Amino acid sequence: MKLIKAWSVVFIFFALMSNTTLAQSPDISIDLTSTDVVSQGQTGTCWSFSTTSFLESETHRITGELHDFSEMAAVRVVYPEKVERYVRYQGKHQFGPGGLSHDVTHAAAAYGLVPQSIYDGGQAPGQYDHGALDASLEALAKTMVGQSGRIAQESFDAVEAVLDAHLGALPESFEYDGKSYTPVSFRDAMGIYPEAYVTVTSFTHHPFGAPFILEVPDNHAHGAFWNVPLDDLERMVRDALSDGYTVAWDADVSNRGFSFQNGWAIMPEAAASAKEWETLGQMPDELSVSQAMRQSAFDSQENTDDHLMHIVGLAKDAQGRTYFIIKNSWGQGNAFGGRQFVSMSYFRHHTIGIMLHEDGLSKTDKKAMGR
């Protein structure tokens, strides 16, 4: 089980550091952190790490219990489907290790959940390296496409064999905390019902108030997102946090405002130099992000689907500026144990999409979605 890392302990650590560092620590008003940050290692599976963390928080919210779920179980479920889809599209489809949050809830629906102690994916947490696995799967998939007209079941069996060799076979039943479970019965005992989760985004190339299939490469499963105005997207996350619900977050991070080392994600364009945005005490006012700015960044591919994370709280700096607190699966190697503070401007400009429990929505939003 991953232990809660209390923010009070972090603040004691900060108190022993310089006044400059103290000035960087925002005042936290909401903290729904349930489990520690776990590194995805050398893999492209941020989608599973972030959404698994999200489901751990959901179980904590629903049952009051802390459990450590396997990130690799969802990977093991989804990867054969990715190969099959790639082959069925005759190689003209996205193939790679990436994915989105709905891949994890799909895996939970199709297979269930298992604890990390039961299924570790063949490597120690934080030391995952899927270089060889990814290369083997890609080679197999391309070979199968090249066998058009004579693809046999044995080829798909080979995919399963490679996954078993690297990750291990998924368990059909197991013992945990003195009880017997199947993956489905464990999922249900944890209070996780995959159909209760919704995905939301905000773009003007599709109408608001309706779902659409989000056009990003890692949406290999063609998942639909409910489309809302940008102000509503931000409000949904704020309201969910205020009501005790965390949020899975997909965003662009390939820009100079995203700094894991410094622990921030900000819009630094107004700064004269990088020094001005290394600390919150020095950072100038950020740009006000409009719906049109956001759409332009997406259309020009300035904003791309880079990385999935987990929004767990809300904070303010000394100037009253608000930040979402995120868990980032790049490990615990910054001053905040792998967490970062995401400004509202950054969130508005760089968000690709979110996932949350339907009960974290307002009654109006829930009704609009037909839920």
Q: Does pLDDT of 50 surpass 60?
A: yes
Domain-located, residue 363: yes
Domain-located, residue 234: yes
For residue 144, what is the domain's CATH number? 3.90.70.10
Please list the residues that pair with 311 across neighbouring strands.
247, 326
Average pLDDT, the chain: 91
> Which amino acid is present at 265?
A
Q: By mean pLDDT, which of 2-6, 60-64, 179-183, 189-193 is the weakest?
A: 2-6
pLDDT band at 9 (very low <50, low <70, confident <90, very high): very low
In the prediction, which pLDDT does 7 show? Answer: 34
Domain-located, residue 240: yes
| Cα–Cα distance for residue pair 323/329, rounded to 1 Å | 19
Alpha-carbon distance values, 113 to 22, 45, 189, 346 (Å): 40, 17, 10, 33
Residue 9 neighbours by CB under 8 Å, 6+ apart: none
pLDDT band at 3 (very low <50, low <70, confident <90, very high): very low
| pTM for this model (two decimals) | 0.92
Domain-located, residue 2: no
Query: Which DSSP string do the residues of 108-127 spell out, in sequence order?
Result: HHHT---BTTT--TTS-TT-
| Cα–Cα distance for residue pair 309/215, rounded to 1 Å | 19
Residue 138: how many CA atoms within 13 Å on its side-chain side?
Answer: 12
Structural domain count, the chain: 1
Domain-located, residue 1: no
pLDDT band at 273 (very low <50, low <70, confident <90, very high): confident
In the prediction, which pLDDT does 330 show? Answer: 97
250: containing domain? 7-368
Q: Does pLDDT of 280 surpass 90?
A: no
Q: In whole angstroms, how large is the CA radius of gyration of the chain?
A: 21
Q: Does pLDDT of 24 surpass 80?
A: no
Q: Does pLDDT of 172 surpass 60?
A: yes
Q: Does pLDDT of 22 surpass 90?
A: no
| Cα–Cα distance for residue pair 297/316, rounded to 1 Å | 27
Q: Which of 259, 250, 257 is nearest to 309 (CA)?
A: 250
Return the structure tokens found at 48. 């599973």
Domain-located, residue 325: yes
Q: What is the pLDDT of residues 89-144, one digit of tens each?
A: 999 999 999 999 999 999 999 999 999 999 999 998 889 999 999 999 999 999 99
Question: Could you tell me what percent of the chain has a pLDDT over 90?
Answer: 83
Domain-located, residue 131: yes
Higher pLDDT, 180 or 268: 180
Residue given tokens 């650590």 in the structure block = 13
Domain-located, residue 82: yes
